[in-house]
Amino acid sequence: MSKTQTVFCVSPARAGAGNVADLLIKAVDATNADPTKDRRGCYKRGDVVAVKPTGWQWGKEEGPPRFVRLTLTQVDGVTPVWSVPKGWTPDQPIGEPPADLKKYLQSELDFFYQPTKRRAWTCLLDSAAAPVTTDLTTKGTSSLTVDVAKALMQNKSTGLTDASAPALL
């Protein structure tokens, strides 16, 4: 394991009661010479790969250089909505993300429900505030409130961000 990955894995951002979920986000483009496969199948920088509750134990390779991770805190900064339940063991389902976050995992579909893009939403990582981009560059992880994160989530089809949606919590 690289030194960078070690820092990433022991990130203290997960411990607080104000965290709601972690987003695992692709940091680099995958490409394919076949334009259909490239568009439909390849993850691009900013695509959300997984949403897990705060406290989730991420894998050793779920960090730089392929991924970054955003820990989302609630708007009130206090009440956790989705964290690993006390006493949870791996043989129990962890459940699925809140709907407002689960949508970031959806593919873009055509009229016949066939996928046209791997993800319908992208996280505008390069548009984040300087402290966040610095954290992502140096540590591979950062923390944001949900409302700030939503302002960074852009629908690939409409070009609109998710900031105008109702508050998550």
Partner 1 sequence: MTTTITKTVKSAGGDYSSLSAWEAAQQGNLTVLDEIHEAQCFGFVDTTAVTIDGWTTDATRYIRVFADPSAVATLPYTTSGYRLEMSGAQPVVMVFEEYTRIERITVQATVTAGSNCGGMEFSGAATSDMRAIGCLVRGVMNGSNPNGQFGFRVDAGTAKFINCVALDYTDTGGSPPNPGFYTSGGTLYAYNCLTYNCRRGYRQDGGTFIAKNCLYDRGAQTTHEGFVGVFDAASDYNASTEADAVGTHARNSQTFTYVNTGTGDFHLTSSDAGARDFGVDLSADSIYAFAVDFDNVSRPQGSAWDIGATEAAASGFDAALMAAMDRPRPDIVFDLPQMVASGMAPSDRVNP
In the complex, which residues of this chain contact partner 1 (CB under 8 A)? 24, 26, 30, 32-34, 37-38, 40-43, 47, 49-50, 52, 56-62, 66-67, 90-96, 105, 107, 113, 115, 118
Q: Which is nearer to partner 1, 49 or 148 (CB)?
A: 49
CB of residue 41 to partner 1, shortest distance in Å:
3
CB of residue 42 to partner 1, shortest distance in Å:
4
The identity of residue 45, as a single letter, is R
CB of residue 58 to partner 1, shortest distance in Å:
5
Q: Which is nearer to partner 1, 7 or 151 (CB)?
A: 7
Q: Which is nearer to partner 1, 29 or 76 (CB)?
A: 29
Q: Which is nearer to partner 1, 84 or 148 (CB)?
A: 84
CB of residue 113 to partner 1, shortest distance in Å:
7
3-state SS record for the chain: CCHHHHHHHCCHHHCCCCEEEEEEEECCCCCCCCHHHHHHHCCCCCCEEEEEEECCCCCCCCCCCCEEEEEEECCCCCCCCCECCCCCCCCCCCCCCCHHHHHHHCCEECCCCCEEECCCEEECHHHCCHHHHHHHHHCCEEEEEHHHHHHHEEECCCCCEHHHCCCCC
Q: Which is nearer to partner 1, 18 or 41 (CB)?
A: 41
CB of residue 51 to partner 1, shortest distance in Å:
8
